């Protein structure tokens, strides 16, 4: 493909990468002498009308948009079986590679990228386009630092129904909104949710939801709350964390109403961000605090005459002062003890048993340990799935530490789906928090109609871990048998079709044509395969049809003696030739007559003579 010229204009220079449905190339517009990106539909999908429509929809979606943060489309075309888009060439890399290279982005940088993408989404939403696949791989960062949203391959008008059917889930599970995971319509707020996850990943370096299977991740989007970004990266400010959690709200109505509203909050959070220094600005627990002064009770000033009574009161006041002083000293000691708590690096206890984890934490002086429990498909019962704070985080030994401990795998009963259509079986299995392993197996069956599920592995009513896959076997119907191809010579296409249907064969719609003096126009001249060949039921037979002119008319003299037995006899002459079978002559004759007739025929012919419906003569003419 390198060096190929598309549309007599776009030269392919290099391959940049590829996705599930297209390969992306770097190219050159030879007319305008500029670099372009050329996106070519994969060859295996060019014959799939649904994929071609989806590919064209991307062109239509982007063509309706014009925004500095959206990759522009220049041209769309087709050359032979090559479907291609020509787009703006972005010098830079995608955001996913940027995150992989840097681990985390500084809050200021992450806020600016998210704000630009928000403005791009606002423009798309205003034009009734929902992207539906917002993820770092689809956000390009130019060499100048500008973010550009690309890959509208599954974008759709906001007014249309959801693409998800009760089959197949055809977008990226780690960035999927809860409503998309449930198979509901993806609206503008679905894009906002996905952008919230991208922002989470930029500032923490990790995804909020991980799982062993795609369905496991999808379920977490619906059911679970991720660790707070600030627990993974202390540099994240409360304002930035609030933006992330609002964008990632499970209920769409609780998210930002528009991408513009989110962009506004991103700008507000940027005002208090740490900028690009990358240094954490954690709250200093040793900062000087203002402590109210403790005032001792002042002795009453008594006149000389009252000194005796005052002397009696001094011990009481003295003891009161001592008690207050002790309380102040104790308070100061307690305060000193509080602010001078030892600090340790949070040990890593994930993947250890509950007892081992607690022992490790206690040896470090950490005693405030809270336990939560949840099922996990791969972490054994009683082992730690996750911890908060994260390993190596600097914490006070008095801080609360949370360990999420596995209760082991959750099990599901395999539902009864034998006899259902593949689509209905998928839905029922998905509703039981399981999934169908692709590709689906196929087998012939005399008991199940084509397209129905005939077997499962494991078997129905068996128990397997939640989120596991089930292998389905779908019937291809009865196994075809071999049949002999009939002779179609001289038949019309209509009659040839009927003859083939009798033996469960089909006429190939790709009919050939040729000139013939043996067969009239519209008659079968030849066939492939020839008559008598054995073919599997359902196979096709190709025929060649005559364009004429056909055979010329010929005459032959037929002379027939009538038996001289004293009674009349019926004489019948039948012609079988290129025009078919025709009763040329029929009449009654006296005994002893000799009947002579000139009989016409076309091409190869057989002339049959019958007396009283009994064949008495037959002659073949070539």
Counting every residue written for the chain, the total comes to 622
**Active-site option among 14, 48, 133, 276:** 133
DSSP letter, residue 118: H
Whether 133 is a known active-site residue: answer yes
Per residue, the 3-state secondary structure of 407-474, as one string, reads CCCCEEECCCCCCCEHHHHHHHHHHCCCEECCCCEEECCCCCCCCEEEEEECCCCCEEECCCEEEEEE
The CA dihedral of 27, 29, 33, 36, to the nearest 10 degrees, is -50
14-20: long-range contacts, CB 8 A cutoff, minimum separation 24: 18/42, 19/151, 19/153
Neighbours of 456 (CB within 10 A): 20
Mapped onto helix, strand or coil, the DSSP state of residue 351 is coil
CA angle 616, 619, 622 (to 5 degrees): 165
From 553, 562, 556, 498, select the one nearest 524 (Cα to Cα). 498
Q: What residues contact 367, with CB distance under 8 A and at least 6 apart? A: 361, 397, 398
Neighbours of 497 (CB within 10 A): 16
Neighbours of 490 (CB within 10 A): 20
Of the chain, the end-to-end C-alpha distance in Å amounts to: 58
Among all residues, which ones are annotated catalytic? Answer: 133
């Amino acid at each position: 493909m390198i060096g190929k010229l598309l549309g007599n204009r776009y030269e392919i220079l290099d391959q940049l990468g590829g996705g599930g449905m297209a390969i992306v190339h770097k190219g050159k517009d030879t007319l305008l002498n500029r670099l372009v990106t050329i996106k070519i539909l994969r060859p295996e999908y060019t014959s799939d009308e649904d994929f071609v429509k989806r590919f064209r929809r991307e062109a239509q979606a982007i063509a309706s948009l014009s925004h500095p943060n959206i990759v522009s489309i220049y041209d769309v075309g087709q050359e032979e079986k090559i479907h291609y888009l020509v787009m703006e060439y972005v010098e830079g890399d995608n955001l996913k590679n940027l995150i992989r290279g840097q681990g985390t982005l500084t809050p200021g940088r992450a806020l600016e990228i998210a704000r630009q993408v928000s403005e791009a989404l606002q423009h798309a939403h205003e034009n009734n386009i929902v992207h539906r696949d917002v993820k770092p791989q689809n956000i390009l960062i130019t060499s100048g630092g500008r973010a550009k949203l690309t890959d509208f391959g599954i974008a759709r008008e906001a007014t249309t129904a959801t693409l998800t059917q009760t089959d197949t889930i055809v977008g990226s599970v780690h960035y999927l909104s809860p409503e998309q995971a449930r198979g509901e319509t993806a609206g503008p707020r679905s894009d906002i949710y996905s952008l919230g996850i991208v922002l989470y990943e930029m500032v923490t370096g990790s995804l909020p939801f991980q799982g062993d299977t795609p369905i496991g991740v999808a379920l977490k989007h619906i059911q679970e709350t991720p660790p707070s970004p600030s627990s993974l990266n202390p540099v994240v400010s409360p304002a930035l964390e609030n933006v992330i959690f609002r964008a990632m709200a499970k209920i769409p109505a609780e998210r930002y109403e528009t991408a513009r509203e989110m962009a506004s909050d991103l700008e507000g959070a940027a005002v208090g961000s740490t900028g690009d220094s990358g240094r954490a600005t954690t709250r200093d627990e040793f900062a000087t605090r203002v402590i109210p002064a403790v005032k001792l009770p002042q002795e009453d000033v008594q006149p000389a005459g009252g000194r005796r009574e005052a002397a009696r009161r001094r011990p009481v006041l003295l003891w009161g002062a001592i008690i207050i002083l002790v309380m102040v000293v104790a308070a100061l000691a307690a305060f000193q003890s509080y602010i001078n708590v030892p600090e340790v690096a949070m040990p890593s206890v994930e993947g250890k048993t509950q007892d081992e984890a607690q022992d490790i934490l206690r040896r470090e002086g950490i005693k405030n340990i809270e336990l939560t429990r949840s099922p996990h498909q791969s972490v054994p019962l009683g082992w730690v799935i996750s911890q908060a704070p994260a390993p190596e985080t600097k914490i006070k030994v008095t801080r609360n530490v949370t360990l999420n401990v596995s209760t082991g795998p959750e099990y599901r009963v395999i539902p009864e789906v034998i006899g259902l259509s593949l689509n209905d079986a998928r839905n029922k299995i998905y509703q039981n928090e399981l999934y169908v392993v692709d590709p689906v197996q196929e087998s012939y069956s005399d008991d199940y109609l084509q397209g129905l599920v005939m077997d499962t592995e494991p078997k129905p009513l068996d128990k397997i871990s939640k989120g596991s896959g089930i292998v389905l076997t779908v019937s291809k119907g009865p196994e075809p048998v071999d049949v002999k191809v009939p002779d179609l010579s001289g038949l019309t296409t209509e009659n040839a079709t009927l003859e083939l249907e009798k033996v469960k064969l089909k006429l190939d719609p790709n009919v050939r044509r040729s000139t013939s003096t043996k067969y009239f126009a519209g008659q079968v001249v030849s066939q492939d395969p020839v008559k008598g060949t054995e073919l599997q039921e359902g196979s096709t037979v190709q025929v060649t049809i005559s364009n004429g002119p056909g055979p010329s008319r010929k005459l032959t003299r037929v002379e027939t003696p009538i038996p001289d037995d004293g009674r009349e006899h019926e004489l019948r002459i039948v012609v079988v030739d290129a025009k078919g079978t025709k009763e040329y002559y029929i009449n009654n004759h006296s005994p002893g007559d000799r009947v002579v007739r000139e009989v016409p025929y076309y091409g190869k012919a057989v002339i049959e003579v019958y007396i009283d419906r009994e064949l008495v003569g037959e002659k073949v003419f070539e």
